[in-house]
Chain A
Amino acid sequence: MTAVAQAPRPTAGPRLVADSWMMAWRLLKATPRQPELFMFSTVQTIMFVLLFRYVFGGAIDTGGVAYVQFLMPGIFVQTLAFNGAVTGIGMADDMAKGIVDRFRSMPISPVAMFVGRAISDLVRATFMLIMMIGVGMLTGFRFHGSAVHIIAGLALILLFSFAFSWIGIWIGLIVKTVEAAQSGGFIWLFPLTFASAAFVPVQRMPGWLQAFAKYNPITLIVDALRGWFDDGVRETLHIHATVNGLQSLAWIVGILVVFVPLCVSRFRRLSR
């Protein structure tokens, strides 16, 4: 048999990067071609901003700060948490359609598929964040913090979205159907985001719920963002933004440490 022309084989590192990028490319190309998905997340985000800002805004006592300043970091975090989890639907769909089988029969790095998905989610999260900031500005939200704090806050929230993608990917791998990913993939996010400081001050909740809400990573990250995005809010509400930021970072690292290996081992089990 004659030698068949084969592509040069890059070493593992660069190959993981290249493979992951192609996986992300694939998903990013597809995103604007599913306008229904895209519209849904966009409309939902705008709707949340408007509903909370104008319906609940007047009724919620935020301890002396304007509600829009209190609310927007919560909206950012909630929306991007859902954005991460939504990837589970795509993952389950890939599993069901057999394209995962094709990837698995190819000489590519097993994590590239996941890294690519998390990267494409990150790009989408960035886009959504910009859109939310725009809508927030239109309804009166303003940044009143140092540039360093604002950038740190934006970076933290994108990291957080990246970490949540891995939870979404894992759910997509374990569920049996796309429909299950659509329901089971999100249900846990409602208590997590609502029983937090995202929309209302934790102090108003009953004691047992406060215990949960205080250590909820959503609360930690939302408080960090509030403090960093607005110096006035930080002082009025006595937020320890840096502490909260570091605690959030610990959560992010913890999620990645748990879920990345879970995804990889789940993937390996497909060949059983």
Chain B
Amino acid sequence: MGHDMTDAVLAEGLVKTFGETRALDGLDLAVPEGTVVGLLGPNGAGKTTAVRVFSTLLRPDGGRAEVLGIDVVKHPQQVRRSIGLTGQFAAIDDYLTGRENLILFGRLYHLGAKAAEQRADELLERFDLVEPAGRMAKTYSGGMRRRLDIAASLVARPQVMFLDEPTTGLDPRGRLGMWGVIEDLVREGTTMLLTTQYLDEADRLADSIAVIDHGRVIARGTSDELKAQVGGARLELIVGSDECVGRATEIMRKVGDGTEPTVDGRDISVPVSAGASVLIDVVREVDAARVTIADLALRRPTLDDVFMRLTGHAAEDSKPDPDDEPASREKASQR
């Protein structure tokens, strides 16, 4: 490969409008080669639109998008040779068997007949689909369909994967299974752009996270960095009796970062800058002062806190209108 770049996926000032709606409003994004970037945002934030631009399904109205250094607008066919796409709904043929689906896609990627069959069998094995391989895909469970869909997007061993909300609509078991599948891909060093509205999913699967709202990235970093933006950890102590509150507050003031502790009944909390070692200190002091403890915890901020802080609204609170644009017809008919 001729390019010496490190960003496998790159967007600069990407704009896409649908009528009045600016689905992408100057999106800047980079996915370094060999890493997983989680694009995190609520419904309608522009995640799907971004993925559809990168995977050559949509032409942007402005800005630039590249995959492996190739412009997606100027050379879509070249981009298509190197990418795998798994959308929100399994893009497979219901009336073909799992194995036939994979062979079909293999042949369409111009693997020979033999090679396509071999690849299909490999993928069926890997995604635990050997047993239902001979059944029509329409008989598959939601989790099986997603696995087949991911397998289909891996047929040609793409260098870059786009996963658009891979676990939306799955039951908890299907979701865990899917996470396992994605984690395996991550371990192999697949470059991946993963969109999700689940904070824990981004936390678990992505090397770094870009938070998107109203078509632009409003924060980026590792999940730890994002959490740090909201502030460090908070120490929370619940004492066993009312007469302990005074002494306990004194101790909390000492171990805290200088901020006055918050007292709410028997519940005293204070931001701390030190790590877990603060727990040892507080336990010693509390024990020495004969304060009884009902609960003691060092709480780290969640990505939910981050989202709330950045967007002013909770991630799950936004209107459940279908993400973006034309794809909405897919949603309507699948439900």
Residues on A lying within 8 angstroms of B by beta carbon are 1, 3-10, 15, 18-19, 22, 25-26, 29-30, 33-34, 95-99, 101-108, 176-178, 270-272
Contacts and interface: CB of A to CB of B under 8 A. Distances in A.
Across the A-B interface, the 7 shortest Cβ-Cβ residue pairs: A30-B95, A102-B91, A96-B333, A107-B80, A7-B110, A98-B91, A105-B85
A177 B33 contact: no
16 contacts: A1-B1, A7-B112, A7-B115, A8-B110, A18-B107, A18-B110, A96-B333, A97-B94, A97-B333, A101-B85, A101-B330, A102-B92, A104-B57, A106-B109, A270-B326, A272-B58
Contacts of A96: 329-330, 333-334
Interface in B151-172: 152-153, 156-157, 159
Contacts of A107: 77-78, 80-81, 109
Contacts of A5: 157
A90 B148 CA distance: 21
B329 A25 contact: no
Which secondary structure characterizes the binding site on chain B? loop
B175 interface: no
A30 to B, nearest CB: 3
Contacts of A271: 56-59
Contact of A15 (B93, B110, B333): B110
A101 B83 CA distance: 13
Given A96-B330, A99-B93, A177-B329, A19 B111 contact: no
Interface centre among A19, A25, A106, A107 (most CB of B within 10 A): A106
Interface string B189-223: 00000000000000000000000000000000000
Contacts of A176: 329
A6 B83 CA distance: 12
Contacts of B85: 101-102, 105
Contact of A22 (B77, B107, B115, B332): B107
Given A1-B1, A5-B157, A22-B107, A30 B96 contact: yes
A108 to B, nearest CB: 5
Chain B residues touching A, range: 35 or more
A99 B109 contact: no
Nearest to A272: B59
Given A1-B1, A271-B59, A101 B107 contact: no
Nearest to A108: B108
Contacts of A8: 110
A102 B152 contact: yes
Contacts of A33: 95, 136
- Tell me which of A99, A102, A103, A177 has the highest count of chain B C-beta atoms within 10 A of its own C-beta: A102
Contacts of A26: 93, 96, 100, 104
A106 B329 CA distance: 21
B127 interface: no
